[in-house]
Amino acid sequence: MSDAPLAVVVLKKRRALPFFSHHPWVFAGAIEREEGAPQPGDEVRVVSHEGRFIGRGLYNPDSQIRVRLYGWDEHRPLDRDFWAERIDQALAWREQLFQHRPERHACRLIFSEGDHLSGLTVDRYGEWLLVQWTSRALAMRQELFLELLTERLRPRGVWLRTERGIGESEGLSAADGLLRGEPPPRPLFLVENGLRIGVDVLEGHKTGYYFDQRDNRRAVAAYAGGRKVLDAFCYTGGFSLAAAKLGQAAHVTGVDSSPSAIETARANAELNEIGERCTFVRADVVPYLEAAVGRGEQFGLVILDPPKMARTRPGIERAAKGYLRLNRLALQVLEPGGILVTCSCSGLVDREMFLDILARAALEKGRGLQILEVRGQASDHPVSIHCRESAYLKCVIARAV
């Protein structure tokens, strides 16, 4: 981070194509050599085997993603002005998207690769910002980013959440905690689709809530009218509340293994005055579904939103088996003409593969499955066309005949 000439990372022969196409992740295996002894966090120039300029990025010798690329202009440094422009673009999109709706205070402001800021996620919960680093080199610029964010958003506080495993994968040592201002209250209340939702941003999953399912919850509510709903992996009740309140479901049962999530889900149902039509059960979903099959219980709408099942390429096959098993069980408790809402947030299991798994589950259980909608993540989680891995969420709505 000095005025010295930038170190240069030279790619192997025939490995440059994805980066000429602006993919941001330069893996160690694509690198031929490094010139100029780059240090952790340094800005580097990445060039092809023949020395053609490709992009400017940040270097991390402890990550498999050795360089994250951010800039494609040979003459523009990755300086304060550069990052400020990226942040402004991200914030402007959310302003446009939400206008003056309450969701502007309950959304993802910066989505890593989707906003060309690989390794930084910022969520906004009311007057608080929740920051997550998945790049050590960006995290080393934390003070600069906090300054840029607080100048623009004037939050009451900024809280850091760390992702599990990031210590090993990025060599990043960070602990959850207060970065600026006051700590967030527990619970913190936000508004989504007209519902009031209490979240625990300190201890809850991810940064406390799953904003990526916002539009899918509303979409699912449209099918819920009068139906008996099972919301499997309900967490704090995102889909349950939407189905019961917006969708006027006859009854919703939410199931999750986390006691604190179940407690919050119950409180949220009370808060929205639908406590009498919602039951939340702390249980493991698979045995719960097996028991429901055993007693012949049927539902009119079943939602499956399991946690990420494939974290690595070798884990894909196991994840596929897990999805198959869950979807088979869901079909067994769906009444004829019932609606299946089935999600996958494993980026490594792509849309086609997920649909193939559903087809197999349907065949095995002798059910016809009509796809009604194939949805993705909400638009405050944009997908970079150059990094299709950022399209991680699938939400299929289908009718089981």
Would you count residue 262 as binding ligand SAH (CB under 6 A)? no
**Whole-number minimum distance, CB 293 to ligand SAH, in Å?**
16
**Whole-number minimum distance, CB 21 to ligand SAH, in Å?**
33
Catalytic residue at 345? Answer: yes
**19, 25, 159, 235: which one binds ligand SAH (CB under 6 A):** 235
Q: From residue 266, give the alpha-carbon distance in Å to each of 90, 127, 238, 339, 346.
A: 34, 25, 11, 24, 28
Would you count residue 210 as binding ligand SAH (CB under 6 A)? yes
Amino acid in position 254: G
Would you count residue 307 as binding ligand SAH (CB under 6 A)? yes
**42, 215, 305, 380: which one binds ligand SAH (CB under 6 A):** 305
Q: 394 burial class (0-12, 13-18, 19+ CB within 10 angstroms)? A: buried
**Whole-number minimum distance, CB 364 to ligand SAH, in Å?**
21
Q: Find the part of the chain contacting ligand SAH (CB under 6 A) among 48-56, 183-191, 255-263, 348-356.
A: 255-263
CA 6 to chain centre: 34
Q: Which of 234, 343, 345, 387 is catalytic?
A: 345
**Whole-number minimum distance, CB 138 to ligand SAH, in Å?**
26
Binding to ligand SAH (CB under 6 A): which residues in 6-35?
A: none
**Coil, strand or helix at 264:** helix
Max Cα separation, the chain?
72
**Whole-number minimum distance, CB 242 to ligand SAH, in Å?**
9
Q: Which is nearer to ligand SAH, 174 or 274 (CB)?
A: 274
Contacts for 164-173: CB closer than 8 Å, 24+ residues apart = 166/133, 166/134, 169/63, 169/64, 170/60, 170/62, 170/63, 170/134, 170/135, 170/136, 170/139, 171/40, 171/60, 171/61, 171/62, 171/63, 171/136, 172/133, 172/135, 172/136, 172/139
Would you count residue 213 as binding ligand SAH (CB under 6 A)? yes
- Which residues in this chain contact ligand SAH in the complex, by CB under 6 A? 205, 210, 213, 233-236, 238-239, 256-258, 261, 284-285, 305-307
